[in-house]
Amino acid sequence: MTIGRFKAPHLSRRGLLAAGGGIGAAAIAGFPAIVHAETKEIVVGGAASMASWMNGTMGPAFEKAHGCKVVFEGTKSLVNLEKMQKNKGKQYLSVVLMDDPVMILAVQEGLLEKLTPAAIPNLAKTRPSAIHLDGMWSNYLQPWQGVATNTKELPAGIASWGDIYDPKFKSRVVVPSLQNTEGLANLVMAAHLETGKPIDKAQYEIDAGFKKIKTLKPNLLTIYTQIPQAFNLLEQGEAWIIPSAFSSVVVPREKAKAPIKMNVPKEGIFVGPAGVAMVKDGPAPDLARAFIDSLLSVEMQTKLLPETYAFPSNVGAPPPPGMAADVKVHSLDWQFVAKERAGWVARWDRDMAI
């Protein structure tokens, strides 16, 4: 027989066995594509809550398209950061999905590879506000924040973020602490309401934000750090409103016929800090770029919308079901947040005690 232009010598079965491992090893070394196919693999680190769509939709589709194996490690963003720190110079993760504040720390330590439209074409189709530090990471499908309401008590919902300050909602509003990521949107929106500045500018007017949000205290039933307890109050009707709630918390309960709904106020929504990045010096860099490109694509983001209850970053992907296509989308400056947040939390604990 011939392989390419080389002629293989004729060997009987007995002769082949007699030749032992030497010929077998030579065959494997010389012709790996024929007698031994090594499976390509990519290891992706993300949040444990992503496992259902990573292992059920994204991973299998990518494996089929690229003939590889996707291994998903679900944990917390800070744990992924720790893995990269400990394995610097010998990384085993190729891609990480982490919150933006943790991405900033990873960039500072030189753990991420810059993303470019040349290597990742769908980056050119991603909202500019979703691309950070000149391409060090990009947001993909982002949990969005609106105002959750009890449908029995407020069947018409809420039209504006400013409505929560109406005295008729005395002791009916529940807000997250600034210790919670979702709590920051309320402070920024308060700054916008106080100053009248556009939200992208108002987010730096923190003194104005605290001045306004302190006037909400008569309407507060409680301030939460644990999400389940807060939403129990909303579903039971003790609370009527939770501003800056995450879609990933509200929409599944809404679909399960709980008496709550997610409202998109006229000022728009905030999108959460869900980022994807390439690990510097990680294995399988070509697969890593292809994985990120797939996650940023219209096709994958559209397919994942019903599973993630999130807002897409690709400008060609549709908004979540029931949301207007021209909704205003706001992102926070997470570098600014990371630098100032500890002081804000201390001030919140002092000023907002009820």
CB burial of 58-97 (b: ≥16 within 10 Å; e: otherwise) equals: bbeebbeebebebebbbeebeebbebbeeeeeebebbbbb
Which residue ranges of the chain lie beneath pLDDT 70? 1-39
Give residue 24's pLDDT.
38
Q: Is 203 helix (H, G, I), strand (E, B) or coil?
A: coil
Question: For the segment 181-216, what is each residue's pLDDT rounded down to a tens digit?
Answer: 899 999 999 999 999 999 999 999 999 999 999 999
Reported CATH class of domain 40-140+272-323? alpha beta
Give residue 105's pLDDT.
94
Query: Do 72 and 59 meet the contact criterion of CB atoms below 8 Å apart?
Result: yes
Using alpha carbons, select from 9, 307, 292, 304 the residue that is nearest to residue 131.
292
Query: Do 243 and 173 meet the contact criterion of CB atoms below 8 Å apart?
Result: yes
Using alpha carbons, select from 181, 201, 182, 184 the residue that is nearest to residue 192.
201
The fold of 143-264+333-351 is D-Maltodextrin-Binding Protein; domain 2 (3.40.190)
Give residue 38's pLDDT.
58
Helices (H), the chain: 13-19, 21-30, 32-35, 51-53, 59-66, 77-86, 100-108, 184-195, 199-202, 206-213, 227-236, 247-255, 285-295, 298-308, 334-351
**40-140+272-323 with 143-264+333-351: one CATH topology?**
yes
Side chain identity, residue 350: R
Give residue 29's pLDDT.
39
Q: Is 293 helix (H, G, I), strand (E, B) or coil?
A: helix
Domain boundaries, the chain: 2-35, 40-140+272-323, 143-264+333-351
User: What's the predicted TM-score (pTM) here?
Assistant: 0.80
Give residue 321's pLDDT.
84
Give residue 49's pLDDT.
86
Give residue 39's pLDDT.
65
Give residue 166's pLDDT.
98
Give residue 60's pLDDT.
97
Q: Kindly write down the DSSP assignment for every residue of 58-75, as one continuous string.
A: IHHHHHHHHTEEEEEEEE
CA 102/CA 10 separation, integer angstroms: 61
Query: Do 188 and 202 meet the contact criterion of CB atoms below 8 Å apart?
Result: yes
Q: Is 241 helix (H, G, I), strand (E, B) or coil?
A: strand
Question: For the segment 301-348, what is each residue's pLDDT rounded down to a tens digit?
Answer: 999 998 899 999 999 999 998 899 899 999 999 989 989 999 999 999
